[in-house]
Chain A
Amino acid sequence: MCDCAKSDLTLLDGILAEYASVRGSLITILQKAQDVYGYLPTDVLYRVAQATGNTPAKVMGVATFYTQFRLTPVGKHLIMLCKGTACHVNGADAVEKAICEELKIKDGETSEDGLFSLKTVACLGCCSLSPVMMIDEDTYGSLTPTKAVEIIRNIRKEAAV
């Protein structure tokens, strides 16, 4: 078994009671678990496997197949930067470079202060406003490198208050 059992597994009880016996619910369970923990800790994956009657390998396989699932914690704010076709054509690469320089991180990493994680995504479906990024639930469009950095700095300023 996993030697890192430190998550509060009782938080899963409600989710498992509702879905564990419903066939085909593994993805739904993992989505809800991620909402609770912010990511999918290994001991949570083991618990889900045990409760749903799946092998840990199958659960791990699903968790690593889909881009939505994270196996490591994320920062307070998740930046999803769109790298879809329209965003690519309208300069998403330059925006990514500016964000990475500002936060001193690469795609998939979390800034040192734990405030921001950056994740590039395939398409957010707001192509007319490209380039686009989402920070948590908010969408920001028509980005330029300067504008993106400004938005991040504003959030950082608010966090400092």
Chain B
Amino acid sequence: MRIVIGEGSCGIAAGAQKVYDALAPLLENTGARLGITGCIGMCFLEPIVDIYEKGLLLKRLVRVTPDDAAAIADAVKSDDLSPLDRLAITDEDKSFLDRQTRIALRHCGVIDPEDLNAYLDVDGYKALDKVLHTMSQDDVIAEIKTSGLAGRGGAGFPTWFKWNAAKNAAGDEKYLICNADEGDPGAFMDRAVIESDPHLLIEGMLIAAYAIGAKEAFVYVRAEYPLAIVRLQKAIADATAKGYLGDNILGTDFCCRLRIKAGAGAFVCGEETALIESLEGSRGMPRLKPPFPAEKGYENKPSNINNVETFANVSWIILNGGEAFAAMGTETSKGTKVFALTGKIKRGGLVEIPMGLTLRDVIFNIGGGIRENKRFKAVQLGGPSGGCIPEALLDTVIDYKALSATGAIMGSGGMVVMDETTCMVNMARFFLDFTTKESCGKCVHCRIGTKRMYEILTRITEGEGRPGDIELLEELCDAIRSGALCGLGQTAPNPVLTTIKYFRDEYEAHINEKRCPAGECAALRTYTINKDACRGCTLCAKKCPVGAITGAVKEPHAIDADKCIKCGQCKTVCRFGAVEVR
């Protein structure tokens, strides 16, 4: 028997390593092997323990704690797993995975990411072997063209086109770069791929390096992903030792070195020219395009940049053919896309689905809908460059074109679900706070424009909004969009534009009625005590920092609205749910 524990960053944060440490001594001399795997993708059930026999998954145990270790060890020793049924995954939760089509994530949560042999057992490096021994550079590019693979980092530019441009660029010295600077808050699929299947990334990159004629490759990883860096370092060392990386790969004259560069924390470095500046050791400020990186990239040499998920699809396409990939999806968007489903969702985690499903499919069928059965309000797609999509558009199909038409973007695949308690004006303010901090400062419109927008949104959420603020925001959006050099600035207005477009009434309620319909904006809240629910325990009056609550013992209390500073202490301490917020 083989016992496997999901140890991606999320699993470890949920306590997977503690479960491992508790199980390890108990399984000694039982004949059962204890191992790890990467991210299984069902973050809402972590820590997860899988029990395999001869490669077959016998049981998947969820929300395991170290206290369960003894029961697991006993069951394994006695060969009777039935006592573990109380921990087993339910059929309903199982459907979260069953409804997915996994290509980029196909080995995630299945193989041991730290073992090269585990990767070889699932046809690892076979695509590279096929490419190096039977395909020309043009053959590879043609296959990728047939597949219709487009950049998964956000813009959705055809991958083959970039490869072809880099291949045809003049010069012998070319570079391949992997963008693993997953900066979009709310997206973590690239981290999951590197942590769970690092050789898949290496193989995809080697195929691309061969196609464009690069002998040197970089992975630019966020410094916030220490585990990903450690696992990738090990994978690079193992692959080099076995002849999959380095000189004369697989006995051919193809040579390629792969190095990791740790980023130092700057969202704008997800933009390819800024990333190149950062690789060169400078401030990550975008360059003017053209020239595109395919002509003048790293060290002014032809370079090609793709993101992790894009590379993760490459070996599958080579092995199964571009047509099989293109058979999935819609007219304009082929294959699958990974989404990081988070927020107020019942079942959050990584979801890989064929393009063409609807947002409703993902959020309600796979994700199980909204927590605590609250009402769905919006889904945020594409991070700070994306937008908020309302309930009326839930049947929008997932493809690059259809999502862009809503004002949001596909982006890197962050999907943050919001319920009725999320204020959309505050959401826009949140993103502008982010872009204000992350703007590199090069373009005036982006540097100052986002700051002015942030100030306007802040005053609206604080009840100081003025008539004309919405129009002023729209004007600023226009100016920033046309005045910024790079994608960060050009798309920074999207969160504001989409919330104004779909939730204008919320803006108007804040400005005209000084009211936050979601009840989130503290300055616009009013706290009252429900006389019928209040038992007169006096706790709230004691805790109130400004003495705004009065009332006799065992008599209903009341809040003086003029004194109240809306700190919420009374609501936090009330044991009878008597404090109401509007």
Interface residues of A (CB under 8 A from B): 23-28, 30-31, 58, 61-62, 65-69, 83-90, 121-130, 132, 137-141
Contacts and interface: CB of A to CB of B under 8 A. Distances in A.
B416 A124 contact: no
B262 A85 contact: no
A132 B183 contact: no
B182 interface: yes
Contacts, number: 133
A68 B343 contact: no
Interface string B336-359: 000010111000110000000000
Contact of B264 (A31, A87, A140): A31
A64 B266 CA distance: 11
B185 A84 contact: yes
Nearest to B228: A125
B343 A89 contact: yes
B188 interface: yes
B435 to A, nearest CB: 11
A23 B282 CA distance: 11
B12 A123 contact: no
A59 to B, nearest CB: 10
B77 to A, nearest CB: 32
A122 B185 contact: yes
Of A58, A61, A130, A140, most B-chain CB atoms within 10 Å: A130
Contacts of A66: 263-266, 284
Nearest to B433: A83
B99 interface: no
A89 B9 contact: no
B451 interface: no
Contacts of B281: 23-28, 62
Contacts of B299: 23-24
Given A65-B284, A68-B265, A141 B343 contact: no
A86 B13 contact: no
Contacts of A62: 281-283
A85 B343 contact: yes
14 contacts: A27-B261, A27-B262, A27-B281, A28-B262, A66-B266, A85-B186, A85-B380, A90-B343, A121-B265, A125-B187, A126-B188, A128-B342, A128-B349, A139-B12
Contacts of B364: none
Contacts of B283: 61-62, 65
Given A122-B185, A123-B185, A126-B188, 16 more contacts: A30-B264, A68-B223, A68-B265, A85-B414, A86-B342, A121-B265, A122-B434, A122-B437, A125-B187, A126-B9, A127-B186, A127-B188, A127-B348, A127-B414, A128-B348, A130-B343
A95 to B, nearest CB: 13
B503 to A, nearest CB: 15
A85 B10 contact: no
Given A65-B283, A86-B343, A128-B44, A31 B262 contact: yes
